[in-house]
Chain A
Amino acid sequence: MIRLAHIGLELPGFALEDINLTIKEKDFFALIGPTGSGKSLLLEGIMGLMRFTSGTLHFNGRDMNALPVEKRGLAIVYQDFALFPHLDVTRNIVYGTRYHKISDPEIKERLDRLVDTLGLASVLGRKPHNLSGGEKQRVALARALILNPKVLLLDEPLSALDPVFHDGAKDLLKKIHRELDMTIIMVSHNFNDVMYLANRGAVIHQGKICQQGDITAVFEKPCSRFVAGFVGMKNIRPIGVKDGNLSAPDWALGIRLAAAPDNSHTHMGIRPEDILFEPAGNGPPVNRFRGTIAHIRNHGAFLDVRLETGSEVFDAIWPRVLLRDHDLCPGREVVFGFHPESVHTF
């Protein structure tokens, strides 16, 4: 278990402040946040490449703060993979083995297994500049995994990949986590990747943790407007709550909720994919509105649709098939709605 308590790190113009995190054994833990939020800095601090200015970092009860990078037993895969350009793939992969007292037969056995698992047999003699993005990533993973690290840190491992390699790389990371049964900490700004890979996570913004816990809970029950926006929630409006009753002064429409909101909540939001198109009027009996399509942004498999009803605006994500089946176009009048359970307050 990795425990960070009251961690601080000060740099000119930026600081990590009072970071408290618990990462359990065998977690696939995601540190999520926008660019410049401090997530990579936190990862480098855990790795030992940056020194925390306050707080404690424990790994299975052992204080890690004083240990140099090379003694921490962690391995990192960088966004740009940081392969050594003067070494071929084999020498890149086995680079760290001499510092970990691994016997030659054991090195060979691990190398063969990783080459087989990661499909690297055809590139072993190549230098990194002759590899594709996906191959570079697999080499970087093999270089880290050959050391059997206690924890694998991944710094934006998918963002440098072409879309064609992206899904395959996600599957590979999932497979590694499942088969090697190891703890993984991944930094990412892409919530879709995180939803697929991670079981737990923390959202970080301006050097502070905004929310942490089960990744589905972060997705479904964001605790703040920032987190809600970051996990893709839209249709966010300020609300007032008094004695469990909702009032939305900026919203002329009556909205029904599944449960009484907490008195401390200040906003409500509805995920765009939860706003349903109801051509036959057989959707949810409440929270149903008639409106006009203001614009459609076609993303191929799905559509971003902006709906206007009176002075209100809703953003929805609908499957592309609706465009064909119902002849949707800007200016068209439609009926749409959402279930009371789809309205989240925070």
Chain B
Amino acid sequence: MAEMDNMGRLFFILSLPLILLLTLPLIQMTTEPGVDMLMQTLADKEVVMAISRSLGYSLAAGLIAFAMGTPLAYLLARKKIMGKKIIEGIIDLPIMIPHPVVGIAMLSIAGKNHPLGRFLSDMGVQIMGTGTGIVCVLIFVGLPFYINTVKAGFESVPVRLENASRTLGAGPAATFWRITLPLTWRHMVLGVIMCTARAISEFGAIVIVAYHPMTAPVMIYERFTAYGLKYSQPVAVWLIFLSFALFILLRMMSRSVHQHYR
């Protein structure tokens, strides 16, 4: 490793408060419960179920974002469409608006007072208090992360490569399948991980739409308000471990994408 010069040392000193702000609470939180307490928590079926739900719903949100967000990301990256900037602004909106507002907005169209709510109800689809509702809000909050990552991936593939494929006889679909997709799949995996990771931590929107079935963030909140810090901490620690593992995976994927295009 290169030796740190004076500027490097100064920047390190300036960064230190931020590093401490991030690490100290986490270190305290993860070390406080002790291994026995953590293992006991893991033996609690409700905890396992809540974490499994968080994982399952988040992964479902990530996969739905992949299936439906990929065409949208391609359109935004490649085609001239009317109101493109407005669409991009709307996609970014969930990053900025308070997440309880997302939940309230979702409920307002899922209720009986809204034609869509009535239609869904007639079709037997319930949003309020169901896993379906939770997945819906998780897609809402996670979609910007998927779309923006994959759009950047499509933009990084030179149009000239797609044109070259067309000139060699491949149609638009074959070109997408044989050129565009292989060059962007890492971005798609990254996008799914980003979307899923964001969804795992979601609390504000979920608590409005579906307190039950209980996900891990809601359980942490419930145990904190009902029993205090000691009982909420172990669940939070397991959730932190899970998120940490996901982000390690994300970093490894990022490096892989970088090397691919080097």
Contacts and interface: CB of A to CB of B under 8 A. Distances in A.
B169 A86 contact: no
Tell me which of B167, B170, B182 has the highest count of chain A C-beta atoms within 10 A of its own C-beta.
B167
**A interface: dominant SS:** mixed
Given A84-B161, A99-B174, A74 B183 contact: no
B163 A49 contact: yes
Given A78-B160, A82-B161, A99 B170 contact: yes
A95 B168 contact: yes
Interface in A89-114: 95-96, 98-100
A95 B167 contact: no
Contacts of B182: 86
B169 A70 contact: yes
Interface in B157-177: 158, 160-161, 163-171, 174
Given A78-B160, A82-B158, A99-B174, A147 B168 contact: yes
A99 B171 CA distance: 9
A310 B148 CA distance: 68
B120 interface: no
A160 to B, nearest CB: 13
B77 interface: no
Contact of A49 (B166, B170, B261, B262): B166
Contact of B166 (A70, A78, A84, A85): A70
B136 to A, nearest CB: 36
Interface string B101-135: 00000000000000000000000000000000000
B29 interface: no
Contact of B163 (A82, A86, A95, A144): A82
A82 B164 contact: yes
Interface in B52-70: none
A100 B174 CA distance: 14
B167 A47 contact: yes
Interface residues of B, number: 19
A70 B170 CA distance: 6
Contacts of B164: 76, 78, 82, 84
Contacts, number: 56
B253 interface: no
A39 interface: no
Tell me which of B166, B171, B174 has the highest count of chain A C-beta atoms within 10 A of its own C-beta.
B166
A147 B167 CA distance: 11
A86 B180 CA distance: 10
A107 to B, nearest CB: 13
Contact of B169 (A82, A85, A96): A96
Contact of A99 (B163, B169, B179, B183): B169
Tell me which of A44, A68, A85, A144 has the highest count of chain B C-beta atoms within 10 A of its own C-beta.
A85
A96 B161 contact: no
Interface in B225-262: 261-262
A69 B167 contact: yes
B172 to A, nearest CB: 9
Contacts of B168: 70, 75, 95-96, 99, 143-144, 147
Interface in A36-91: 44, 47, 49, 68-70, 74-76, 78, 80, 82, 84-86
A76 B164 CA distance: 7
B165 A49 contact: no
A84 B163 CA distance: 11
A227 to B, nearest CB: 30
22 contacts: A44-B163, A47-B167, A49-B163, A68-B171, A69-B163, A70-B170, A74-B167, A78-B164, A80-B160, A82-B158, A82-B160, A82-B163, A82-B164, A84-B165, A84-B179, A85-B161, A95-B165, A96-B168, A96-B169, A99-B174, A144-B168, A147-B169
* Top 9 closest pairs, chain A to chain B, by CB: A96-B168, A99-B169, A82-B164, A69-B166, A96-B169, A82-B160, A70-B169, A76-B167, A86-B182
